[in-house]
């Protein structure tokens, strides 16, 4: 919300109509919960009634032993090849506002 | 004649790629730096409600008396019940009521830190709001996240809430005194935790029988050494 308000101000927006956000599968945030919360916090602000478009990048892991990337199984993060202990999260923890769209205040003769 | 007209529908798209938690992370970094300067070791306790965090803390604080100077930040949506229980041990405690929020964030913790005698503290526990989802996502400036889970919760908590278990550096399995009365497959639970976090140390405790408390206290003492 803080980000949205700032952007709206800086860009002379009179109304924020939609937001594109990226919420990784392994970010700990549930899209439904976010939509619900957004409706609540945006009430009475420039962003009231705006739509949230949520991208959900899947979890991608990397095994530092086999040097392979593999899709993360949310119930078992270990490397399917070696079941090794050392893996890195390559994707899936993102929480980003990618873009904000709105109507701009314009005065014309 | 010229007429002033407002054209309302000029659509503007602003590209951002901005981290949603950037503001939180900035404050978390400030907290971490302050705690480092004051040599305060900080632990963020994350669990479901009722897993036994406050009870474990009370026993832990008693066991650490005379060994480490402790303090506690209590996060709850409402009430100061938990802070009152901690205060009875004589340790400094600050209660944060998050009201509508299901987690603590770094600015709330920053305010609480201002109320603590940091120069006289070695080990600070932050009892997060009972919830395994949101608290995991918010860095508070702590050194370690500790996930607390009781044997009454079902074996599959680690795979239902993987982020908390993935980020924790130790898992405390509480209420093991109840194991004889439950159909709780402890080995399966630990195995599931290890699918999410291979090698995660698990400390089994009971705040009633005091079983395992010494292991937990040793773990803390080692961290603060
Ligand atoms: N049997 C048993 N019950 C416990 C133990 N620790 C806590 N409890 C009970 O679990 C309930 C919740 O404990 P509490 O510490 O308030 O949990 P919190 O919400 O995680 O802070 C209370 O009724 C405690 O008495 C334990 O080691 N064994
Ligand atoms: Mg509690
Ligand atoms: Zn591997």
Is the CB of B178 within 6 Å of ligand 1? Answer: yes
Summarised one tens digit per residue, pLDDT across range B114-168 is 999 999 999 999 999 999 988 999 999 999 999 999 999 999 999 999 999 999 9
Per the domain annotation, does A90 fall within a domain? yes
Q: Is residue A66 part of a domain?
A: yes
Give the domain extent around A84: 2-103
Minimal Cβ distance to A77: which of B11, B12, B166: B166
Q: What average pLDDT does this structure show over B74-89? A: 92
Question: CA of B213, closest CA in chain A: separation in Å?
Answer: 27
pLDDT confidence of residue B4? 47
Chain B residues inside the 8 Å CB shell of A77: 162, 166, 195-197
Using the structure block, give the residue that is written with the tokens 């439950």.
B182
Q: Choosing among B7, B16, B193, which should be mutated to test the A contact, i.e. which has the most A CBs within 10 A?
A: B16
The verdict on residue A91 lying in a domain is yes
- The residue with tokens 């962003």 is A47
List of domains in chain B: 40-224 (3.40.50.300)
Residue A15 within any structural domain of the chain: yes
Beta-bridge partners for B28? none
> Is A56 a domain residue?
yes
Question: Is there a domain that residue A108 lies in?
Answer: no
Reported as a single tens digit per residue, the pLDDT across A67-91 is 999 999 999 999 999 887 778 899 9
Confidence category of residue A106, pLDDT binned at 50, 70, 90: low
Count of the separate structural domains present in chain A: 1
A76: CATH = 3.30.2320.80
Q: Give the global pTM.
A: 0.89
pLDDT of residue A72: 92
Q: What pLDDT score was predicted for residue B2? A: 44
Residue A44 lies in a domain: yes
Our mutation pick for probing the ligand 1 site, out of B44, B47, B52, B95, counting the most ligand atoms within 8 A of Cβ, is B52
Q: Is residue A26 part of a domain?
A: yes
B16 vs A97: CB contact, 8 Å cut-off? yes
């Amino acid at each position: 919300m803080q980000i949205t308000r700032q952007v709206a101000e800086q860009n002379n927006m009179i109304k924020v109509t939609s937001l594109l956000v990226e919420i990784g599968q392994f970010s700990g945030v549930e899209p439904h919960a976010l939509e619900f919360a957004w409706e609540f916090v945006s009430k009475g602000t420039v962003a009231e009634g705006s739509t949230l478009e949520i991208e959900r990048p899947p979890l991608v892991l990397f095994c530092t032993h086999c040097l392979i990337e593999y899709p993360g199984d949310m119930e078992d993060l270990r490397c399917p090849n070696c079941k090794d202990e050392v893996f890195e999260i390559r994707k899936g923890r993102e929480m980003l506002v990618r873009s904000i769209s709105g109507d701009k205040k314009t005065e014309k003769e | 004649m010229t007429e002033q007209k407002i054209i309302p529908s000029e659509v503007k798209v602003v590209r951002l790629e901005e981290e949603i938690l950037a503001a939180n992370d900035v404050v978390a970094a400030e907290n971490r730096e302050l705690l480092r300067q004051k040599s305060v070791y900080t632990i963020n306790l994350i669990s479901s409600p009722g897993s036994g965090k406050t009870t474990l803390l009370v026993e832990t604080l008693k066991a650490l008396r005379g060994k480490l100077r402790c303090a506690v930040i209590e996060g709850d949506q409402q009430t100061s019940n938990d802070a009152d229980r901690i205060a009875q041990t004589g340790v400094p405690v600050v209660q944060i009521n998050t009201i509508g929020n299901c987690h603590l964030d770094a600015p709330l913790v920053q305010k609480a830190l201002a109320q603590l005698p940091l120069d006289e503290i070695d080990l600070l526990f932050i009892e997060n709001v009972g919830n395994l989802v949101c608290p995991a996502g918010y860095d508070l400036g702590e050194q370690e996240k500790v996930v607390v889970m009781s044997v009454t919760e079902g074996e599959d908590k680690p795979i239902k809430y993987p982020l908390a278990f993935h980020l924790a550096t130790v898992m405390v399995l509480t209420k093991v005194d109840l194991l004889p009365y439950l159909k709780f497959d402890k080995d399966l639970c630990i195995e599931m935790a290890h699918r999410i976090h291979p090698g995660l140390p698990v400390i089994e405790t009971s705040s009633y029988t005091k079983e395992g408390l010494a292991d937990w206290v040793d773990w803390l003492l080692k961290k603060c050494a």
